[in-house]
C-alpha cells in the first residue's frame, strides 16, 4: 500500500515563526503536492514538485516555499507564519502522468494553528 | 485554471437509502480523468472511483457508481445502500494533461441511522 506520512497531525505556532511541514512517501512517486484545505473552499494547491529539486507554483503560493532534496520527501515552509495561514495542510503524491492520469495518494493532514 | 463545482455543500441520507452527489466541471479538453475522493472524519482522503473521459461506460465500484455526462460536463456520484461508514466529505476532482488536479469545494454527507 502507498503510504504518505506527515510529520505532525496538529501544530500550534506563533505569528512570525518559521514553520516546517514535512511529508514523506514510500512508493517512489515522482509527483508530490501540498494543498491547503479550508471550509467552503475545498483543496487549493500551494506548490507541487515533479522531480527532485523541481517545484512549480500552484494557485496560492504566496507566503509559502517548498523544498524537495530527496525524491521521497517534500517540505512546505512558512517563512513567517501569519494567522491567515491557520488551516489544514494536506500532502499528496502520485506517479508521473504517462499514458494514464494517476490518482493522488494523500497523507493524514496537519492542522496548523497560528496564534 | 479549470473549475470544478459541487453545488451541494451538505447532503443527508437515511441508512440503506440511495444518495446522489453532484459535480460539474469546465473544460475545453476532450481527454481527461474525473475522480471522487472521500475524506472521513479522520481526515485521510481516499479514492472512491474514477472515470476516463474517453470511456462511455460509467464507472462502478461496489455500491458506488457515477453518472458521467460528457456533453453536459457533469459527473455525479451515486451511493447505493448507504452505510454509516459512508459519512464523510466527498470531493470531485479533475485532471487533464499534466499532473495537476483540480478539486471541487466538497459535499459533506451525513448518514442518518
Distance from CA of A105 to the nearest CA of B (A): 7
Q: Best residue in B48, B91, B100, B108 to probe A by mutation, most A CBs within 10 Å?
A: B100
Q: Please enumerate in sequence order all residues whose Cβ is within 8 A of that of A57, keeping only pairs 6 or more positions apart, or say none.
A: A47
For residue B18, what is its C-alpha cell?
A: 440511495
Interface residues of B toward A, Cβ cutoff 8 Å, are 1, 6, 9, 32-33, 35, 37, 42-47, 50, 52, 91, 95-101, 103-106
* The pLDDT of residue B51: 93
Do B35 and A103 lie within an 8 Å CB cutoff? Answer: yes
Distances (CA, A) of B97 to A5, A50, A68, B14, B82: 27, 14, 23, 39, 34
* The pLDDT of residue A98: 61
* The pLDDT of residue A101: 64
For B48-93, the three-class secondary structure string (H helix, E strand, C coil) is: EEEEECCCCCCCEECCEEEEEECCCCEEEEEECCCCHHHCEEEEEE
pLDDT digits (tens, 9 = 90+) for A35-67: 999 988 999 999 999 899 899 999 999 999 999
pLDDT digits (tens, 9 = 90+) for A4-18: 999 999 999 999 999
For residue B57, what is its C-alpha cell?
A: 461506460
Amino acid at each position: 500500500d502507498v503510504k504518505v506520512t506527515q510529520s505532525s497531525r496538529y501544530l500550534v505556532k506563533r505569528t512570525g515563526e518559521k514553520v516546517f511541514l514535512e511529508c514523506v512517501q514510500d512508493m517512489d512517486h515522482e509527483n508530490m503536492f501540498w494543498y491547503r484545505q479550508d471550509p467552503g473552499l475545498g483543496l487549493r494547491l500551494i506548490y507541487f514538485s515533479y522531480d527532485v529539486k523541481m517545484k512549480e507554483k500552484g494557485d496560492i503560493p504566496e507566503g509559502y516555499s517548498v523544498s524537495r532534496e530527496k525524491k521521497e520527501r517534500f517540505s512546505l515552509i512558512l517563512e513567517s507564519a501569519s494567522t491567515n495561514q491557520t488551516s489544514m495542510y494536506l500532502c499528496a503524491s502520485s506517479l508521473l502522468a504517462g499514458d494514464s492520469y494517476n490518482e493522488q495518494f494523500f497523507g493524514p493532514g496537519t492542522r496548523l494553528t497560528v496564534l | 485554471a479549470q473549475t470544478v463545482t459541487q453545488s451541494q455543500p451538505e447532503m443527508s441520507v437515511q441508512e440503506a437509502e440511495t444518495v446522489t452527489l453532484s459535480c460539474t466541471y469546465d473544460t475545453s479538453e476532450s481527454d481527461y480523468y474525473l475522480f471522487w475522493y472521500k475524506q472521513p472524519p479522520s481526515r485521510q482522503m481516499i479514492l472512491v472511483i474514477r472515470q476516463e473521459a474517453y470511456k462511455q461506460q460509467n464507472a462502478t465500484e461496489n455500491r458506488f457508481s457515477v453518472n458521467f455526462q460528457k456533453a453536459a460536463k457533469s459527473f455525479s456520484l451515486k451511493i447505493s445502500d448507504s452505510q454509516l461508514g459512508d459519512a464523510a466529505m466527498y470531493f470531485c476532482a479533475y485532471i487533464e494533461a499534466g499532473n495537476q488536479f483540480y478539486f471541487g469545494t466538497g459535499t459533506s454527507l451525513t448518514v442518518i441511522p
